[in-house]
Structure 1
Amino acid sequence: MTSTLTGPLAGAAEVRPDGWLATPLATDPAQAAAQARSLICRHHPDAPGPVRCLTARYRTAAFTLGAPPSLLLKRHGDEAAYHGEVLAYQLLADEHVLPDLHSACDDSKSLVVGFLHRPAVIDHKAGFEELIAAVAAIHTAPARWPAITDDTMAPWQLATAMAAAAPAWIRNPAAWHRLLQMTADAHGATHVPLGHLDLKADHARRRPDGRLALIDAETLRPDLTGLPDLVTLAYLAGTEGRQLPPRWVRQVYRRHTNDLGAQWSDTDLVRALIAFTDATGLRSLHGADE
């Protein structure tokens, strides 16, 4: 698990310092754009031009394609992040909570997706509930997967995780297994515990059909449960002037997940949040357990 030393998940994990990537990406926008044009010609030949650099960072780079922009090229320096993002698009294709995936290339660790420029305003109850509903759809997506996806993702089922040792980064294995058991009680032992979204106000956008979607899905993992995202939602609800009660966030989240097939009681959801804290060393639940 990766996190920051500050922010909603502080204490749950440690960050990797700069310098760990063997082949970092170019951080000069002009150089990054030139490299993007070259890899588009070789790996995404149907992508439109022109190419404009949005961000050029050590680990990732993003470029708009077309005039006006209609697509986004995302490039990864980290192979695990690239595969994580492609996996997210594949696992959630039927949920309509991400931009549409147009193409991906393992060799260049790049993918082309729909460019969503319209922000989804979430600084009020109705808008924030849309965000919660999108997160709930992601957490419960395994219940709606076709058989072929179920078979592919079988190694990540909760039943397998509960029978295995806790991951090395877990500080309290007993609490971790309590969390997995409570998640299995709510979702079923064959559930794949999707979670760890990069939830930020700027990452909530509007799809062309008007639905709220999330961008930057490379952090999604099939082994963390949805609890980190509920903690982050509680944090976001109290920041940037929203001041929505974390108890309301938890209740709305529980309603949406249960409407989509889960069976969380409020008491068990609070117990699971506390178990997540005990297991990971999370510093604060930001009121999500109140």
Structure 2
Amino acid sequence: MNQKQFEKIKNGKGFIAALDQSGGSTPKALAAYGISEDAYANKDEMFDLVHEMRTRIITSPAFDSDFILGAILFEQTMDREIEGLYTGDYLAEKKGVVPFLKVDKGLAEVSNGVQMMKPINDLDETLKRANERHIFGTKMRSVIKEANEEGIQAVVDQQFEIGKQILAAELVPIIEPEVDIHSPEKEKCEDLLKAEILKHLNHLGENEDVMLKLTIPTKTNLYKELIDHPKVIRVVALSGGYSTDEANAKLKENNGLIASFSRALSQDLNVNQTDEEFNTALQKAVKSIYEASI
């Protein structure tokens, strides 16, 4: 593990950019950026366009390590290049930003009020490639919709089981059991989730340190105990569908919680903007998310 990157993520000021929209969410991300589905004929063209969008974000002067600690990439992005370097190397070497990789394959159907991760059959191979591409850590998402104890336990069990496989490959896992912001039982879900996560954290061994990516809690500072836990490197928050302003306002209320926003980072960016307009819009989002994170 890269110790300099570890220190930056653990103690640095800033936030983690989520640039990891996958096959399922890419059309929506492109549409928000001003590229409609009739602009591409197939998946290859779609992924080319989204890589152009991500390249424009990453190479922008507004994408600055003074504000951004790390960036989460989609697998295709990891395997592609920016200015002759693999994306992870470009982030680390040219930008001073720590690269992460989304490793999950999407969500299973709802069962017991939750969506577990689909099986990740090629995880060992992906982790091997991530190491070759100098990736620091990984991210994987499940979703909790109801305060169902059995469902929440199953989600957290699965997250930590795969997390241990990632740790064994000498990468840092970001454990992400998202609570749906629209759940009528959101607060109760969060109480159950926190208790389950603590159980697992207390059983981690030496050199088994993890990150957590959680929905901003309804109860202010609910996750302070997780943030302060000796096995937790950092707790980051997802925007979960909130607008940038709303997500930032909620984040500011929670001490020690930093952002890992996707939509909230890119919501004002558009393919038709001039470079100056694009960079100005990105800089505004970056600075506002940074301010909320510190």
Same fold flag (TM > 0.5): no
Structure with greater Cα Rg: 1
Greater strand content: 2
TM-score by length of 2: 0.29
| TM-score, normalisation: structure 1 | 0.29
